[in-house]
Amino acid sequence: MRSTCDEWKPFIVMIAIDFSFAAVNILLKKVLEEGMNHLVFITYRLSIATIFIAPIGYFRERNDRPRLTFRILCYLFCSAIVGASVTQYFFLLGIQYTSATFSCAFINMVPVVTFMMALPFGLETVKIKSKSGRAKILGSLVCIGGALMLTLYKGKPLFNFSHYESVSPVAKSSEVNLASTRTTGKWTIGVIALALGTIFWSSCLFYSQK
């Protein structure tokens, strides 16, 4: 019984993390719609995280952590800039111009991009004849296909609002076309921002191997 629980622990943790990401993205969307500045929000977020995590890291790892050299300090600085500040800025920009659901689904591209970046450097290997290799390829294709479908396909709205019922057909058509053009432009900016955020996040994970 204990061994079974230990086997399921990683899956339970991953599911809990997915739920946490979903809740955080919904809250971020609400905060950004209220007019919160991206850089101000990132500053608050990183400051609060530092206040809570720094004492834990200091007292828990003060005896076994490596000596802080100039090289390690440079690695930490670059990792913080790329993995924390820049990545969060692009993800916040993407959430603002798309939706919480889309941005949460787009985060699933991070493992795929990291995997593709690690292949040329030999940090990841793919054996097509083995089950694990085929699973990696299939999982990558599914993630890429899902992201492309969310990006390129736009279905019909679930609700028809009666905002334009009292407007003439010509004015209604022009206003709808203008709103559609603006929405498409914002959505494109959001997709590009999420793609850049994914690349920077994957670069941070890849860079952390050093």
Amino acid at 83: G
For 107, list phi and psi in degrees, rounded to 5: -60, -25
The answer to whether position 122 is within a domain reads yes
Query: Quick check: pTM over 0.85?
Result: no
The answer to whether position 8 is within a domain reads yes
202 touches 114 (CB < 8 A): yes
Find the domain containing 85 and state its range. 2-153+183-207
What is d(CA 115, CA 202) in angstroms, rounded to the nearest whole number?
A: 9
Give residue 151's pLDDT. 63
Give residue 24's pLDDT. 83
The answer to whether position 177 is within a domain reads no
Give residue 176's pLDDT. 43
What is d(CA 16, CA 10) in angstroms, rounded to the nearest whole number?
A: 10
72 touches 66 (CB < 8 A): yes
Q: Assign 208 to helix, strand or coil.
A: coil
Average pLDDT of each block of 10 consecutive residues along the chain (210 residues)?
A: 71 83 82 84 87 84 78 83 86 84 77 78 73 78 75 60 48 45 72 87 74
Domain count of the chain?
1
The answer to whether position 24 is within a domain reads yes
The answer to whether position 165 is within a domain reads no
Give residue 1's pLDDT. 58
The answer to whether position 163 is within a domain reads no
The answer to whether position 174 is within a domain reads no
What is d(CA 102, CA 21) in angstroms, rounded to the nearest whole number?
A: 12
Give residue 189's pLDDT. 86
Give residue 23's pLDDT. 84
For the stretch 18-75, pLDDT in tens is: 788 778 888 888 888 888 888 888 888 888 988 988 888 778 877 777 777 888 888 8
The answer to whether position 164 is within a domain reads no
